[in-house]
Amino acid sequence: MNIGEFAARTGVSADTLRYYEKVGVLRRITRDASGHRVFDDRDLDWIGFVLRLKATAMPLADIRRYAQLRAEGAATFAERRRMLERHARHLQDKLARDRDHLAGIRAKIAYYAQHDPT
């Protein structure tokens, strides 16, 4: 699929896809005889994972590093696993903080519900 089709399927703008290629997040993008990018299902899977990392607040520098390690192959499995383990711990901590914040907000809502004079 071309970049427009890929952008439509992923929800990522063509400009952002070009940027990801430029900074090394998207690598080894095939080009047709005219030099246009050609994306496949493997690229869909990868960008889906990149979007998951982005949505969970992994810094772009870390995503770039992960992409670089991925391109280096199986010898980097341990380092990639460690990166994802660190990120998972960060997410777990954030979820715990968010649960605490939600409990505090719900307590305030309950207070207003009990004390609302109207």
Does residue 118 surpass a pLDDT of 90? Answer: no
User: For residues 31 and 39, what is the distance between their CA atoms, to the nearest angstrom?
Assistant: 9
Q: What is the pLDDT of residues 51-87, one digit of tens each?
A: 999 999 999 999 999 999 999 999 999 999 999 999 9
Domain ranges for the chain, please list them. Answer: 3-115
Which residues, at least 6 apart from 65, have a Cβ–Cβ distance to it below 8 Å?
A: 83
Beta bridge partners of 31: 37
Going by the DSSP 8-state scheme, the letter that residue 36 receives in this structure is -
CATH architecture of 3-115: Orthogonal Bundle (1.10)
Q: What is the gyration radius of the CA atoms in the chain, in angstroms?
A: 21
- Looking at residue 73, what is its pLDDT? 97
Mean pLDDT of 19-46: 95
Selection from 63, 49, 56 nearest residue 98 by Cα:
56
